[in-house]
A = this chain, B = another copy of it.
Amino acid sequence: MDEDGLREHVEAEDLVGLRRWLDGRPPHEVAAELARLDAPSMALPFRLLDKDRALEVFEELDPVHQQCVLTGLREKAYQELVEGMDPDDRARMLAEAPATVVRRVLAGLSPRERRSTAALLGYPDDSAGRVMTPEVVWLHPQQTVAEALVEVRTRGAEAETIYTLPVIDTGRRLLGVVSLRTLVLSGTEERVEQVAISSPSVAATDQAEAAARLMQEADLLGLPVVDSEGRLVGMLTVDDAIEVIEAADTEDAERQSAASPLGKPYLAASVFTLARSRLPWLLLLIVAATMTVNVLQFFEASLAEVTALALFIPLITGSGGNAGSQSATSIVRALAVGDVRLGDLPRVIWRESRVGLLLGLALALIGLLVCSLFAGWQLGLVVGISLIVVCTWAAIVGGGMPLLARKIGVDPAVVSAPMVTTLVDATALIIYFLTAHLILNV
């Protein structure tokens, strides 16, 4: 089967070929191919899928693509898709839709579905409440395992997950959880309270990312979500957790290149959207870069005297920027996965300063060689010493800044390679020219 089949069939409006292509393909593959079509064509394949398949494929799409599809469908197909979605997926789609679309969608839902979606939309952006499923099968501690299994059979079809079953008291307060695995493997006469285990839980207003990382660390398939009184309001499922973590990592990757998070797949973003997400940081950085102009102007007399000094400017600033970026990236990632914490600042600085010194010594050897070749050993000495000091300094700055960002409540991922590079550039030049002043006396 050729990879580009779908696109070609859609462009040729070849319905027979399209139907054959769609036939029996797993939903996530159909969704991945759909996401690569131009927006106006995205609805076409949906007219050929039966209701259940259409829903499966639809749920695999990103919210931005879901909207493209809905725009191209007639009222009836539209309502069927939206009514069939899980409330949390629906809320995620609506969170990014214009107000008119939200009204139209909510109006078409059954009262029950409308209620649960509206409840989810009431939680803050990026909160656990937004991504949880409110459709939960819960158990009571006095039930037997046999009764619990009947409960699961009766009400399980509606719920998104039945693998982690919360146990609640009469006041709906969370007591613990039982896994379906435990229920199946336990004796039928045992009571739920005997087989239940305590479980971490999160508040609906907590950050979804923190909740997802907790699920990942504790290897949970489901995490109960409670309100401020400790009452069960929903469950976070592992597939939603994975999506939250992937989105957070993508956001970090974007921040790390000094771009604002796009919030949508690369090819779904217009050229203007891409430029807009990157421009603010670039502007900030070019303004910061004018510091380098100031520094160089201050040393213009030395430059005029020894023009050869200018030859090594990009080499020095570049190496400093690279060493600093390495430190920043490894600390940002260590913070994201929880290997390093706020209190580790002194430890990180001490480690990075030694790493920077080692790297600086190695680079200084190369710098000394290259520079002596081009401009004599005296300038070589200047470049070598500068590289040692600059690399040590850059590693300290790169390692310390993400922790300082976290301390003042800013996402550490904004400490990007471009940001470190720009900040290190000016100080690297000062170090370079001061060293030149000491050694060459210019």
Contact = CB atoms under 8 A, between A and B. Distances in A.
Which of A256, A266, A281, A338 has the largest number of chain B CB atoms within 10 A?
A266
Contact of A344 (B32, B253, B267, B326): B267
A268 B155 CA distance: 47
Nearest to A32: B338
Interface stretch (A98-106, A117-125, A202-210, A307-315): A307-315
Interface string A272-287: 1011001101110111
Given A311-B300, A326-B258, A217 B374 contact: no
Main secondary structure of the interface of A (DSSP, over half): helix
Given A314-B314, A322-B418, A343-B3, A367 B257 contact: no
Report the copy number of this chain in the oligomer. Answer: 2
Contact of A337 (B250, B416, B429): B250
A433 B352 CA distance: 37
A307 B300 contact: yes
Nearest to A243: B216
A267 B339 contact: yes
Given A218-B28, A265-B339, A181 B163 contact: yes
A142 interface: no
A259 interface: yes
Interface residues of A, number: 115
Nearest to A157: B185
Given A32-B338, A307-B303, A266 B330 contact: yes
A149 B185 CA distance: 9
Interface string A252-270: 1110111100100111000
Which of A4, A200, A252, A258 has the largest number of chain B CB atoms within 10 A?
A258
A156 interface: yes
A149 B395 CA distance: 58
Given A253-B329, A300-B307, A314-B314, 13 more contacts: A26-B218, A28-B218, A163-B181, A245-B246, A257-B330, A258-B326, A259-B330, A267-B347, A278-B355, A296-B313, A314-B317, A321-B321, A322-B422
21 contacts: A26-B218, A32-B338, A153-B185, A180-B180, A252-B253, A256-B417, A257-B326, A258-B326, A265-B337, A274-B351, A279-B359, A281-B326, A286-B367, A287-B366, A292-B314, A292-B315, A293-B312, A318-B421, A325-B416, A325-B418, A421-B421
